[in-house]
Each structure stands twice: as C-alpha cells, then as structure tokens.
Amino acid sequence: MRALITSKAARRALRPIVELIDQRIERQVRRAVGNTSTVRTSSDDALRQELKKLRNRQRPLELFFDGTGRGASRLPSAPHLNRTIDELAQVAGDRDRAERTVAQAFRLLIALEALGVGRIAGGTMNIVGKLSAVPLLDPPNDEILEIGTLYGMFGAALIRMMERAGRDPRLTIVDPLAGTQLQPGATMGDDVTGTPVRGAAVRTNLALAGAAGAATRIQQGFSEDPEVRLLVSDRAYGVIIVDGDHSAAGVLADLEWAERIVAPGGIVVLDDFGHPKWPGIKEAFEKHMATETRFTFLGQVAHSGYLRASA
C-alpha cells in the first residue's frame, strides 16, 4: 500500500488533490494571520508600553553594574564567572570554596565602588579573581605589599577579604599618588571617574575597611626608588601585588625586589599578566623566571598570574 502511494504514478494522480489541500491551508493561515494582525496591533501597543516601562525601571538598576563613571562594566556573563571559578579552583584548589569566595568578592567590589572614591582598576573577573585567590592561597603571614594602588580601593577590598578568611592583614602601599595614573610610555589622562589620584582618596577608601584599613602604611613614591625601597623593606611580606609600572623594565625591577622581600612561601600577584594591552608584564615574567629564582608559577586567573616563593 505504502509503495503504491509513494510510486511516481500515484503521486502524479494525487497532485491535484494535494494542491487543493495546500490552497485551503494557505487560505486558513492567511485568515488566521489577518485576524491576529488586527488583534496584534492593540496587544503590540500594550507590550511596547510595558517594555518601555520595564526599561525605564531597569536603567537605575543597571547603574549599579554598568561602566558609566568607572570604565568597565561590572556585569560579567555566567560563562565568564564560571571560567573564573574554574581557573581559581585550579590555582587555589576546591571549587566550592572558589565559587563562594568569588560571589563574596563580587558583591564587595560593587559595594566599594558604590561607596568609595574613584574605582578599582581593571576588569571585573580579574579583580574578583585577585580578591579571591589571595586568601585562598593561604599566605604564610599577614603582611601585604601593594605596588601601585591608584585609589587604594583594591587594598581596602583585599583587607576585607583577608579578614573574612580569619586573617589580620597589615597593608603597605607604594604609589607616586601623582594626581593621575602614571604609566611609562602610555598617556593615561584624567581618570574616567573624574577623581584625582591622591592620598586623601586612598585614605578615604582604606577607612571603609575599618581599623586595618586606617592602619595602612602609605609610602608615596616609585617602587624602584632606593629610598622608598629602604623604608618598606623592613619586613618579609606574605603577599606582594605587583601592579605599578607596567613596562617590562618596571615589572622586572619589581620582581627582582620582590625576590628579596617576600616571605618564605609568600605569594606574588602579577597583575595584567597576559593582558594584550600590557605585553611588558609577561615579557618581564619570562625574563625573570629564566634566572635563578625562588618563585614557582602557580597559574593564572583572568588577567593575573600567581607565583609562590619557595619555603
């Protein structure tokens, strides 16, 4: 029977009937579309109105997360978040803890930028990655050195994250605090926030991190300056964040210094590691790792590389 219907002769014989059915279906569809199109006009208007209302309501909520006044949007996609958690778990172990810490660091970033002066520099996942990785890597002591602070807001956030992990962070900062961000070979201009980079802004942000923030030692100057180095080389640091001069020569000089002042088992964070805008960082890292070094590369989370000094 099936062979009969599918045979060429049968199909030819049935063609007029099939065409008739097709025409009827087409007429029915046209009528239905015609009917709905009149209905659609009014419901379309209602939908459009509703959409407009929702958009208007959504805009102020977006201001909590978008890039207006801080450059980078703080609304990462779910795949970006998951990738950061995976990378973090690889560098610092335990996916569940990584996920929890990333969520806490993300909320902290939004809150501090809402309340503070200026901003934290860089992409959302890179900042969240650093804030999460440092406590998870369990540094050997609570002395932290941040080379290059901009507004001091990252330092404030890191203090909070360390305290959440039950630590008692003591932060030292080195930065020229020159009114704008200084970067050799790059024109930085006025900051996107409109706020000058100065000591008062740094102190206001650090005050948001309570007693440990207020107790932060701020050394104004350049990290390669021997006088500055002498003043802050009075202790072995459990954590050193290299985020000052981003040129290859600048990062190399900071890494050589870090070799001497990092505590046994200490962590060095190389910011903007592998960032296409700052090739000097990876270049300096490769040069430094080819020398006799105490550092072992632990891995990368977003655009930061993590090193641990031998114990």
The residues that touch ligand SAM, with contacts defined as CB under 6 A, are: 120-121, 146-150, 153-154, 174-176, 178, 181-182, 197, 222-224, 243-245, 250
- Which tokens in the block code for residue 77? 């996609």
CB of 178 to ligand SAM, least distance (A): 6
Contact between residue 152 and residue 126 where contact means Cβ atoms under 8 Å apart: no
- Residue with smaller CB distance to ligand SAM, 176 or 305: 176
- Residue with smaller CB distance to ligand SAM, 222 or 273: 222
- Residue with smaller CB distance to ligand SAM, 154 or 306: 154
The closest alpha carbon to 109, from 154, 61, 165, belongs to 154
Pairing state between β 262-271 and 170-175: unpaired
- Residue with smaller CB distance to ligand SAM, 94 or 120: 120
- Residue with smaller CB distance to ligand SAM, 130 or 308: 130
Pairing state between β 237-242 and 143-147: parallel
CB of 146 to ligand SAM, least distance (A): 6
Q: Which residue has the tokens 């969240």?
A: 128
Contact between residue 197 and residue 118 where contact means Cβ atoms under 8 Å apart: yes
The closest alpha carbon to 87, from 101, 73, 107, 104, belongs to 101
Distance CA 64, CA 273 (A): 28
Distance CA 261, CA 146 (A): 13
CB of 68 to ligand SAM, least distance (A): 18
- Which tokens in the block code for residue 203? 């102190």
CB of 141 to ligand SAM, least distance (A): 21
Query: Which residue has the CB atom at the shortest distance from ligand SAM?
Result: 148
The residue type found at 32 is: A
- Residue with smaller CB distance to ligand SAM, 89 or 121: 121
CB of 91 to ligand SAM, least distance (A): 18
CB of 78 to ligand SAM, least distance (A): 24
Q: Which residue has the tokens 């990290």?
A: 223
Question: What length does the chain have?
Answer: 311
